[in-house]
Amino acid sequence: LRKSNGDAEVAIVLTNNPQAYVLQRADNFEIPSHIFTRKEFYDTDDVIRLLKNLNIDLVVLAGFLLLVPGSLLKAFPNKIINLHPALLPKYGGKGMYGDHVHQAVLADKEEESGITIHFVNENFDEGEIIHQSKFKIEPGDTLEIVKFKGQQLEHHHFPRVVENLLKKMRS
């Protein structure tokens, strides 16, 4: 994201997954996109150069499964955030994404779950927490229901958290 006339603007959509639905959404909104390889992400500075050339203020990860390399963290210190579909520090780390998270929450018979928005550091899901929101898990809630409840929180809170972070960066 970059700031534009006081509003957040999606400058580019990056992914390593050529099948990612976000590419279709970017195309629908005429937002540029770029698909990168794992090698390009880890072994070159191509992604950093691309983001720097676009004057990116905030890198926003959602559904991104790769560990962010140190070079990218150094290039954008405290400017990379991630959306995680559970209440960290529980249910975080390598392999804890998407349905895996919700299945683990249900298997452990948790009474609540939620979302976490956090800064990204060198470890999966261990960066400073910016925001958490919870929902109650009712008896009989299925994977689909838990996922839906989490997505409702994501849709409500994620844009507001991003907007607030950009406001803080402006001041």
Residue 144: give the domain boundaries: 2-170
Residue 1, pLDDT above cutoff 90: no
Catalytic residues: 84
How far apart CA 81 and CA 130 sit, in angstroms, is 9
Find the mean pLDDT for residues 20-32.
94
Tally of domains within the chain:
1
Find the mean pLDDT for residues 130-138.
98
How far apart CA 127 and CA 77 sit, in angstroms, is 12
The pTM score is 0.92
Instruction: Indicate which CATH number applies to the domain containing 141.
Output: 3.40.50.170
Mind listing the pLDDT tens digit for each residue in 63-122? Answer: 899 999 999 999 999 999 999 999 999 999 999 999 999 999 999 999 999 999 999 999
pLDDT category of residue 4 using cuts at 50, 70 and 90: low
